[in-house]
Amino acid sequence: MTPGHDDKRQWSDERDPSDPDAADQFAAHVLPTKGEPTRVVLDGRCPGCHGVMTSVHTARGPLTQAEASERIPPAKREGATPETHSYRVIATRCGCGYEHLEAPENELGCGAPIALAVRWPKGKPDDVKLFTVTASAFERREERALQETLAAQLSHVRNAAESWRTGLGGFLAVLAVVFFVEGATSFDDVASRWHWPLAVLLLASAASALYGAYRAIRAAYGTPADEYVPGRGLVWQALRNQLPATTPRHIHDYDSVGAWQDALAGQSVTDLRHAKVATVLAAMCFAAAAAVTWLAPDPGGSERLVIEARTGSVCGKVVTERGDVLVVDGSREVALRDVVSVKPVPTCPSQ
Ligand SMILES: [Zn+2]
Ligand SMILES: [Zn+2]
């Protein structure tokens, strides 16, 4: 055990009145120091058993900023307010890791309650101050639950993302079938001036579904270091810059692996949100495309003309006249003087 640790101390969740101020026994780190802080790490010695301990907490606690700031004794507030500073009240217990005498089952540490208020100027998380405050047993329990969610948040988000990825994959498969198999026939069923809107809607739907699937996959599995952007050229650099700033290459930007994992979870949530919006958009475009095929007018003039001539018969849709020649569908020609009869039919006979 660490030198100075009181191995003989019995477990107790009562505070020893002779304990020195806990705030003097601890140092706090707010991480990451760049960008939005996500974690507060407490480093120090337990005020009860004097064991060395480290505990990791979320940067936001159950208390509001105003409530947290009011826990600090008025004499020590130094004019700081929730507008100028960020606050976090951490209500925890000894975390020395030693199994003290008479400790409840599965409980490590001597049980000494520790309640600290952490304060740092907004945007300057390396200028942290600590204060001893009071906290209830309920707050200590909440804090422990919060610590557990911190450990599990990444896997929770990723599990959710995986379900979305599966759902989006199915949706994409349906879209592909409709797009390639049904697409051609549905185009024939509507008047030609509706072809462009229909094509745009179907393409938009497919594009959003693809984008959504990509973001859902990224939410579920993250972005690997740089393995699929190996080059050093300008194009590769530009591509690399498009990747989120949470790949393993960026760990050092977050000051700690834990803070990087928080950022990963945050990135996963963002990816998942994009995936959801893209899915809704894809479904809406798809519904609009379906509405077009149902409601848009028929092509009209769907009947064909059979032209019987002495040289044979020709069937087609568009018949124009050029001099003394009839041109069928822009290619086949029949001399006018050879024409015997012209009659409309619903479909051309197969030739
Ligand atoms: Zn201890
Ligand atoms: Zn202790």
Task: Give the model confidence (pLDDT) of 198-254 as tens digits.
Answer: 889 888 988 998 898 888 888 888 776 655 556 677 887 787 777 777 877 777 888
User: Residue 101 has what pLDDT?
Assistant: 92
Instruction: State residue 185's pLDDT score.
Output: 67
What is the pTM for the complete model shown? 0.67
Q: What is the pLDDT of residue 19?
A: 66
Q: How far is the CA of 46 from the centre of ligand 1 (A)?
A: 7
Q: Which ligand is nearest to the CA of 25?
A: 2
Q: Residue 221 has what pLDDT? A: 83
- Interval between CA 90 and ligand 1 midpoint (Å): 19
- pLDDT given for residue 91 in this prediction: 93
96 CA from centroid of ligand 1 (Å) = 5
Which ligand is the nearest neighbour of the Cα of 98?
A: 1
Give the pLDDT confidence score for residue 26 in this predicted structure.
Answer: 93
CA–centroid distance, 311 to ligand 2, in Å, is 108
Query: How much distance in Å is there from the Cα of 59 to the middle of ligand 1?
Result: 26
pLDDT of residue 299: 65
**pLDDT score for 217:** 86
The three-state (H, E, C) secondary structure of the chain, written as one string: CCCCCCCCCECCCCCCCCCCCHHHHEEEEEECCCCCCCEEEEEEECCCCCCEEEEEEECCCCCCHHHHHHHCCHHHCCCCCCCCEEEEEEEEECCCCCECECCCCCCCECCCEEEEEEEEECCCCCCCEEEECCCCHHHHHHHHHHHHHHHHHHHHHHHHHHHHHHHHHHHHHHHHHHHHHHHHHHHHCCCHHHHHHHHHHHHHHHHHHHHHHHHHHHHHHCCCCCCCCCCCCHHHHHHHHHCCCCCHHHHHHHCCHHHHHHHHHHHHHHHHHHHHHHHHHHHHHHHHHHHHHHHCCCCCCCCEEEEEECCEEEEECCEEEECCEEEECCCEEEEHHHEEEEEEECCCCCC
Query: 89 CA distance to ligand 1 centroid (A)?
Result: 23
pLDDT below 50 — which residues of the chain? none
